[in-house]
Chains A and B, each alone.
Chain A
Amino acid sequence: MSRRGFDPASLVAGIAVSALGVVLLLDQVDAIDLGFGYLAPALLAVVGSILLAVGLTGRR
């Protein structure tokens, strides 16, 4: 039986990707207008926060 501890990097990655999904969904239902000027920073922020969490928790 494998015992795996809590992984903060996975939590950050999950929250970041979920937040991006919510934003894209809001754009799809025309609740917000998401142009490239906002989409690019959002994508960068998601990837950046995942990389930061992975690096800080020393996952590899």
Chain B
Amino acid sequence: MSGMTAARAQPPPLRRDREGALLGGVCAGLGRRLGIDPIIVRVAFIAAAAAGGTGLVAYALAWALLPAEGEARGPVLRVPGGRDSLSVAAGIGMLVLALLLLFRQWGLWVGDALVWPVVLAAAGGGLIWRQSARAADPAPARDAPARPGGRSALGRAALGVALVVGAALIFLYFNDALGPARDVLLPVVVVLVAGTLILAPWWIRLVRGLADERAERIRSQERAELAAHLHDSVLQTLALMQRRAGDPREVAGLARRQERELRAWLNGGRPIAERGTLAAALELAAAEVEEAHAVPVDVVTVGDAALDGDAEALLAAAREAMVNAAKFGRGAVSVYAGVDEQEVEVFVRDRGPGFDVDDVPADRRGLRESIVGRMRRHGGTAEIRSVAGEGTEVELRMRRA
């Protein structure tokens, strides 16, 4: 047993972590080995690099000597998307600018005419490179944040092109080469402008026509998809209900199941069983109880949490409470689950005859063990309130890890 514990406590071997890498994966690997956030290691390396360059030497040595692990992804693809990428880009830009100003102050400078155009061209090239790298990434993670829209991607690419062109113009201007270049470029620009003015109306009409056609094609695909889904689900269920019209309980069960499926589909979610979260599991449990006892179980959830060990215990207790409510209550059972950062709470209510909690025999394990005992063993609480003639409410609470 102790051997097992020791084996489990063994830290991972020291390797370059290419999956978490920003450059060579040295800091990510060290962070994993030491059990700390890689950014702390990165800060330490940057500080050591700033203080005499030892950080750079150490990093280069570690890069050369440490074996790599994991699937490599380009550093560009590791930078987070959305507003975070803007922060990263602005941060890198400011650090590079600070370094350049410092070199200029120290006199380590080859001249404004060369450095600033190169900086602008590098920034523009970086933007274009990043756009093309992201566009070429064939398999983004399923849960990754949505890619920015095509228009903003086009805007970034255009900004990159403008920066590179601007850098070229500045370089030509500083080197007195803009005059001859202007003599060559001016006729070309005039011809291009004239051509654009002549062809613009046709081009605009063509683009609009293509956009309309694309929109119509998308609408038609959506209609076909909707029709197929309605046929496979609602129409089939209606046909089944007509055949089973003599059995009201089964008809009600079929209608409830179809309602659940339709609601999940309308909400755009994945099938419940695939989601693997507490809210989905509660809905699944409610559907099972509903089917087994032919009693409607309405579930309302606010927030959601991963289905870990404690959440599974809470789910099992809630399921037991639903079964009790369906067996001993009257009419529909209502389940409310609320999840916030600190706590998960679940209420299961029925409108049954109610009972005296203290009168429950000791051998009735459903209430004492499956609900109260289970919640207590996992650090949660279960409270049962029952009023004769009005119904029963089971309140389950569990702190989140």
Interface positions of A (Cβ within 8 A of B): 1-3, 6, 8-9, 11-12, 15, 37-38, 40-42, 44-45, 47-60
Contact = CB atoms under 8 A, between A and B. Distances in A.
Interface string B57-93: 0000000000000000000000110011111111111
Contacts of B89: 55
B98 A41 contact: yes
B39 A12 contact: yes
Contact of B94 (A8, A11, A12, A45): A45
A11 B88 contact: no
A42 B88 CA distance: 18
Contacts of B22: 56
B211 interface: no
B101 A55 contact: no
A52 B97 contact: no
A53 B83 contact: no
Nearest to B85: A55
Interface of B is mostly: helix
B200 interface: no
B99 interface: yes
B102 A38 contact: yes
Contact of A12 (B43, B84, B102): B43
A45 B95 CA distance: 5
Given A1-B342, A37-B105, A54-B87, A48 B95 contact: yes
Given A41-B99, A48-B94, A53-B91, 16 more contacts: A1-B342, A3-B342, A6-B37, A11-B43, A38-B105, A44-B98, A49-B91, A51-B90, A52-B88, A52-B91, A55-B86, A55-B88, A55-B89, A57-B37, A58-B80, A59-B84
A8 B39 contact: yes
A41 B39 contact: no
B105 A41 contact: yes
B37 A52 contact: no
A42 B80 CA distance: 26
Contacts of B90: 48, 51, 55
B210 interface: no
A47 B87 contact: no
B87 A49 contact: no
Interface of A is mostly: helix
9 contacts: A2-B342, A47-B91, A48-B92, A48-B97, A51-B94, A52-B92, A54-B84, A55-B88, A58-B84
Interface size class of B (residues with CB under 8 A): 20 to 34
B97 A51 contact: no
B40 interface: yes
Nearest to B78: A56
B316 to A, nearest CB: 25
A53 B39 contact: yes
A52 B87 contact: yes
Contact of A56 (B46, B83, B88, B98): B88
Interface string B92-123: 11110111011011000000000000000000
B91 A15 contact: no
Interface in B293-351: 341-342
A55 B40 contact: no
Contacts of B86: 55
Nearest to A59: B84
Contacts of B99: 41, 45
Contact of A2 (B83, B84, B341): B341
